[in-house]
Structure 1
Amino acid sequence: MKNSKQLMLMFAMIMMMTILAACGTSNNDSANDKETANGDEKKVLTMGTSADYPPFEYVETSKSDEIMGFDIDVAKAITQKLGYEFKVKDIDFNGLVPSLENGTVDFVLAGMSPTEERKKTVDFSDIYYKSNHMIVTKADSKIKGAKDLKGATVGVQLASIQEGIAKDLKKDGIDLTIENRNRIPDLVQEIKAGRFDAAIIEDTVAKGYLEDNPDLAGYLIETDTKTEEAGSAIAFQKDSELTEKFNTELKKMMENGEMEKLILKWFGGETAK
């Protein structure tokens, strides 16, 4: 009986040691997975975007839930060349930089301008596309340019370069009221409903909405936006090794005509300015 109890005790101890060893192995594997996720061995990158910005990134809900657009094709081309797979995470525009900072995403491709304010917390690639900005309003509106925005309620996307442009116009003496929304379609809807007199939207994006809404009109505006803030760039975490890798591939795409083909595909023959 005593031997039997000793055998049972020994068996229990062996089982306990086995469980502890398994737990230790599991923890080590997790650490290795984490190290792989942050190092060169990582095979999947998560791209953050705001899928309300056609033709850069958007969803044709009548056809599928897939996010498509110019930025998606750029990301696919670069990640494939670098040997990565990538997945896309749809986030409100004002949440993209925080998501990059906290590691929810590995890079952001969302028609984002590399402003000095954003550069304080994230790094940017070279500019991959340049465009202008447009005032969108009702076709029968008296607003034809920036000076006509005096006394108007103007909509902008939250945390966007257009929000900065509206603030600059106000500083320049144009007395306007600025309202922000998370998504571009919300701005358009507010204009059509009469709650906004106008909105400031990137011209490439605005043209798509103007084609679909003949009751709206658009007018290009001149701004004093700094050269380094003009255009779109890819955002990364500070000191990320991906920045240099992506820049290398962007340069190749610019030189071999691949970027030009994507611009022609998505912007109907327009080229980068």
Structure 2
Amino acid sequence: MKLKKLMATVLTLALAVSVTACGGNGASESAATSEPAASTAATDGGLQTVEKGKLTIAMEAQYPPFNWTQVDDSNNAAPIKGTNTFANGYDIQMAQLVAKELGLELQVVKLPWDSLSPAVQSGTADLVMAGMSPTAERRKTVNFSDPYYLSQLVVVVKEDSPYAQAKTKEDFKDAKVTAQVNTFHATALKQLTAAKIQDPMKDFSTMREALKSGIIDGYVSEKVEGLSAQNAIKGFTFVEFDEANAFETDPNDIAIAAAVKKGNDALMEAVNNALKKISDEDREALMEKAIKEQPAA
């Protein structure tokens, strides 16, 4: 399905979901570990941001190719606040385009996954741009922009694994499979009913190491992360089911969008207007670039 057509479907469904709707994966978001910013400052354009003249986004900075940490500002990376390091990846490059359109300088607040939405709520960050899906559960606490990426689920495995040739979920019988905690991946993981479901893990770096060492046989991920893992680690591949056997997902789950504090409607509108100016071709090119530039592991 073409990106614009699928985005239209996602947006239609998203409008049907109240921002206070029940549902989602039931995951709870813990309080942000950083202290809230003192007070917001108005930019010349009337936008309310954490710091005047800057657009501050929250992310883990360890989910390539969506985001990662690096030691310099090469390839249009953004500084991570309070550190001498920088963040890069697809989320960063999309955020750079948004920030430029808004006339702001981009900076990053690096936080654990569970602290991302609370960072927006508390005023630590203006946006979350971290490969985050606009699920009904998350919409209870934050609002979301239009999608800026669409994905699908796969299972990352080793090339020499017996599961590398799997065609259906049932082919993962007795496989030790996991997913990242507090994501819809962990909810979809339960659809592998014949597998030996493992406790969810904290992040993709941990899961990659667990797969390399043989602790697990695979982990559920989005296809773009599967491509990233395949390119970054020798001997990794991923299983992508055909349409008849694919994971059942909500369209909002496979969309990636920016989280915005409830009530900050001006920033939401400005972000959406900026995103509309980025073509499908440019988005695809940015993702291809991110996959090529991602860290080796």
Q: TM-score, normalised by structure 2?
A: 0.70
CA distances 1:195-216 after superposition (whole Å, capped 9, x unpaired): 1121112111221221233322
Q: RMSD between aligned alpha carbons?
A: 2.5
SS in 1 for 2:156: strand
CA contact (8 A) 1:93 1:160 kept: no
What residue number does 2:127 align with? 107
Which 5+ residue runs of structure 1 have no aligned equivalent? 1-32, 269-273
Q: Is 1:121 matched up with 2:141? A: yes
Match of 1:201 in 2: 221
Q: How does 1:1-273 map to 2 (within 5 A)?
A: 34=39, 36=41, 40=47, 42-60=52-70, 65-143=85-163, 144=166, 145-167=168-190, 169=191, 173-221=193-241, 222-241=246-265, 242-254=267-279, 258-267=282-291
- SS of equivalent to 2:178: strand
8 Å contact from structure 2 (residues 65, 291) kept in 1: yes
CA distances 1:152-181 after superposition (whole Å, capped 9, x unpaired): 3222112222112113x15xx445323222
Deviation at 1:142, TM superposition (A): 2.0
Which has a greater percent of helix? 1
Distance between the aligned counterparts of 2:286 and 2:94, measured in 1?
A: 8
| 1:81-106 CA-partner distances (Å, limit 9, x unpaired) | 11222210111222211222222211
Q: In 2, distance between residues paired with 1:96 and 1:104? A: 9
Unaligned runs of 5+ in 2: 1-37, 75-83, 293-297
Asked if the contact 1:92/1:183 (under 8 Å) is kept, the reply is: no
> Are 1:49 and 1:91, in contact at CA under 8 Å, matched by a contact in 2?
yes
Report the Cα offset of residue 150 of structure 1. Answer: 3.2
C-alpha separation between the residues in 2 aligned to 1:61 and 1:43? 24
Deviates more, 1:93-102 or 1:232-241: 93-102
**Is the 1:153–1:179 Cα contact (8 Å) retained in structure 2?**
no
Counterparts in 2 of 1:198 and 1:35: CA distance versus 1, 3 Å: closer
User: How much identity, in percent, do the aligned residues show?
Assistant: 29
Q: Deviation at 1:122? A: 0.9
Whichever of the two has the greater Rg, that structure is: 1
Counterparts of 2:144 and 2:122, CA distance in 1: 16
Q: Secondary structure at the match of 1:74?
A: helix
Per-residue deviation, 1:233: 0.7
Deviation at 1:49, TM superposition (A): 0.8
Shift of 1:261: 4.1
Provide the C-alpha distance between the structure 1 equivalents of 2:117 and 2:40, rounded to a whole number of angstroms. 23
Against the structure 1 CA distance between its residues 249 and 154, is the aligned structure 2 distance closer, same or farther, given a 3 Å change threshold? same
Shift of 1:146: 2.2
Return the TM-score normalized by structure 1.
0.76
Change over 3 Å in CA distance of 1:103–1:142 after alignment to 2: same
